[in-house]
Amino acid sequence: MMSAKDEKKATATPDKSSTQPEALSPEEEAVKKLSKELRQAEAKRRLFRRTLNQYERIKKRFTTQLDKLTGAEAAADKSENPDKDIVVAVYRLLRNFCISYNTIDMADRNEDKQIFPTKFEAEIKSALCGNAAVIKAFAEALKAEKADESVKVLPEKVDVKSVKLINDFLDKHEKTEILSKLEKELEALTKTIDGQRDELKVKRADLVAKQPPKPKQEATTKKPKKEKQGGKDQGSTEDRFRDLIQEVSSRVQKIQLNKDDHKTYSDVQSEIDSFLSEAISDILNIK
């Protein structure tokens, strides 16, 4: 037998079934699923585009710098510490390869990308002349979140032979393992995205066609009252849109990105894609 207190608590508890969202039809579920797959494919394509652009940019920058430090112009170079600068350039070229390869290989897995790729670990260590101290320093530098932090753990000098071996390693693998793979992935993703967009348009059009017609609103004869109501709606629309803009600004300000942080770029881009989808829905509701 329940006490008066228990009876009061039971009667005060709302019926959860009345607050649950209306179940989606199979067609609506299919549209929702396809929309999610499309957003994921678009986010992956953006990630691979950034990876390709960054790889080519960083490769060009540090290859040029390394040529100046070790080539015919080396004698004229006025760097305060050319040996350290060579180490940094070699490291950045190797890091560029490792992060880019891992981004492709781990695109669908949430794993640490700041490591030597397992496939090439033995070959990389050999290119560093098997020097345990140098190998350890390069591995620790990969874990650094900022460029300045990585420079601090790098050695002051590397064997001249390592410079050539690292360059040979990159020349051997970057075309097949980075550039060609990214280009093929981007081409395949573009075809997938185009197909999903076309399919989504058809499914959404079918959903609209199956919806029952909305009842016609009765025309009012009081024009002054109608104009007043319209002005009220307009003000409400402006307030809702202003709130939406403020929410976008608040979310963007909370995002913190670090240079070459591919995982954060990917996570933030996915979050932005999801939020934009919500924002578009809100804007359509406002209209």
Angle at 167 between CA 161 and CA 173, to 5 degrees: 135
Residues 144-163: tens digit of each pLDDT: 988 889 999 999 999 999 99
Q: Is the pTM of this model over 0.75?
A: no
Query: Is the pLDDT at 183 greater than 60, yes or no?
Result: yes
Q: At what angle do helices 180-210 and 82-105 cross, to 10 degrees?
A: 40
Q: At what angle do helices 180-210 and 26-70 cross, to 10 degrees?
A: 160
Query: Is the pLDDT at 179 greater than 90, yes or no?
Result: yes
φ/ψ of residue 286, rounded to 5: -65, -45
Residues 6 or more apart from 140 whose CB is under 8 A from it? 153
Confidence of residue 135 (pLDDT cuts 50, 70, 90): very high
Query: Is the pLDDT at 143 greater than 90, yes or no?
Result: yes
Confidence of residue 231 (pLDDT cuts 50, 70, 90): very low
List the end-to-end C-alpha distance of the chain, in Å, as a whole number: 54
The CA distance from 120 to 124, in Å, is 6
Domain segments of the chain as ranges: 25-212, 226-287
Considering only residues 258 and 208, tell me which one the structure prediction assigns the higher pLDDT.
208
Return the structure tokens found at 54. Answer: 């960054």
